[in-house]
Structure 1
Amino acid sequence: MAATSSSAQEPRSRDADRSQQTILLAARDEFALYGLAGARVDRIAERADINKRLIYYYFKSKDDLFLAVLENTYADIRAAEQKLHLDEMDPVEAIRELVSFTWHYYLEHPEFISLLNSENQHNAAHLKKSSRIQEMNSPLVQMLDTVLERGRRQALFRAGIDPIQLYISIASICYFYLSNNQTLSTIFGRDLRAPKAMAQRLSHMTDMVLGYVMH
């Protein structure tokens, strides 16, 4: 009887996981489009084609759902960064790869920028409640620290570089250009989304970061 009960629970568990993932994807799109304040649970339910009561069953409130979306969003980028295996590359190539990856990830996931903008408007109130967010970032910091130390031992990189400060700088120069692209293009009278401008930007950012870390 126990085996039958267990096997019956397993499909239900898979169904629950699928339902939650469907809700999270629909919520991600809603929050990215309207921000936390403008997002509506009714629309999320409609996007997910799921009963609104089920959303509250799994996530309790709109704020809890927003936190779950943020955690999922960070988990996705951290998992993608780990797959780069930067600590197994030549140190210079690893830094090049991290800049390129960050740039292209932001380009391919504009919702990431929108969600972060929304959370910053709320003073990171949701992320401050997360029990997962800091441990998610630890492997990235460790991996980058390993790259920097290998570069230092090979006399390629200078000593004393803080991996967290370096990552923040890489993320910042990618993020700012894309999140402010419309205003920057207008101010400078140049289409900064044109293919040539985008290629120039990646080259400039890579040279800038390498110029900082190398002797």
Structure 2
Amino acid sequence: MQIEPMATATEPTRKIVQRDPARTRARILKAAIAEFSAKGYSGARTVQIATRAKSNIRMLYHYFGGKDALYVRVLEEVLLRLRAAELQLDFESMEPTDGILKMFDFIDTHFGARPELRRLLAFENMNQARHLNRSAVIRDAASPVLGHIANLLRRGEQAGVFRPGIDALHLYTAMVSLAYYSRAHAPTLSRIFGTDLLCHQWQADHHAQSHQMLLGFLSRPTTA
């Protein structure tokens, strides 16, 4: 009886895929920021987010728990980036006036470089901050920023360069408004007034005028 030779070919080696949970979460979050900022909460689709992230819907729900929780996490991510960077500024070594202007310059640059933040805030305002209200993280992160501004105002008042009675939250809201409004409403304002509010020169002029407005508001009135 003839014995067949044993086969020498080996089975193909299966490729082992290494999972990287942190990278997968980061990809999903990045894709979610893009999707939600483009379409808002109602228009965004989790399937599209998973596709953008080169992941699958099961992983999205596994890491974030669903659309609502993912949207809250997106809001936290974009706002905490702003807060974290604000808190890196060293206000203690600055003169009060320089510190306030430095804070405004940072806010203005941050909003200018991140259209996704502007769009997400617009969508969330239309929804009456329904999802933002679920995040204690964002509320807690806001307090140190107001503390820095309040300290600058106090030092400026004691030095006789700031008028008394300026509220930190009112001032911060005014600075955000100066940085945010002309960009968030640029499409309509540019059309109405026939001027491109997003062009570099217009924004530079607006920035310089914002400095003048802040200085005029902060300065202690001179007595005759």
Q: d(CA) in 2 for partners of 1:120 and 1:192?
A: 22
- Per mean C-alpha deviation after superposition, the further-off stretch among 85-94 and 161-170 is 85-94
- Per mean C-alpha deviation after superposition, the further-off stretch among 85-94 and 131-140 is 85-94
Matched, 1:125 2:164: no
Q: d(CA) in 2 for partners of 1:147 and 1:162?
A: 11
The RMSD of aligned alpha carbons is: 1.4
**2:99 counterpart letter in structure 1:** A
Matched, 1:95 2:100: yes
Using the TM superposition, give the Cα deviation of residue 77 of structure 1 relative to its aligned residue in structure 2, in angstroms.
0.3
Matched, 1:79 2:74: no
Contact 1:106 1:175 in 2 (8 A): yes
Matched, 1:197 2:202: yes
Using the TM superposition, give the Cα deviation of residue 195 of structure 1 relative to its aligned residue in structure 2, in angstroms.
2.2
Contact 1:185 1:191 in 2 (8 A): yes
**Aligned runs of 1:1-215 on 2, under 5 Å?**
15-215=20-220
Identity %: 36
**2:95 counterpart letter in structure 1:** D
Q: d(CA) in 1 for partners of 2:218 and 2:196?
A: 30
Contact 1:87 1:144 in 2 (8 A): no
Gaps of 5+ in 1: 1-10
Contact 2:96 2:153 in 1 (8 A): yes
- Per mean C-alpha deviation after superposition, the further-off stretch among 17-26 and 39-48 is 17-26
Gaps of 5+ in 2: 1-17
Which structure shows the bigger proportion of residues in helix conformation?
1
Say which structure, 1 or 2, has more relative contact order (CA 8 Å, 6+ apart). Answer: 1
Q: d(CA) in 2 for partners of 1:19 and 1:194?
A: 37
* Alignment correspondent of 2:9: none
- Per mean C-alpha deviation after superposition, the further-off stretch among 174-183 and 79-88 is 79-88
Number of residue pairs the alignment of both structures matches: 203
Q: Deviations over 1:94-115 (max 9, x none)?
A: 1111121111111101100011
Contact 2:40 2:120 in 1 (8 A): yes
TM-score of the two chains, using structure 1 as the length reference: 0.90
Q: d(CA) in 2 for partners of 1:51 and 1:187?
A: 44
**2:93 counterpart letter in structure 1:** E
TM-score of the two chains, using structure 2 as the length reference: 0.86
Q: d(CA) in 2 for partners of 1:102 and 1:62?
A: 29
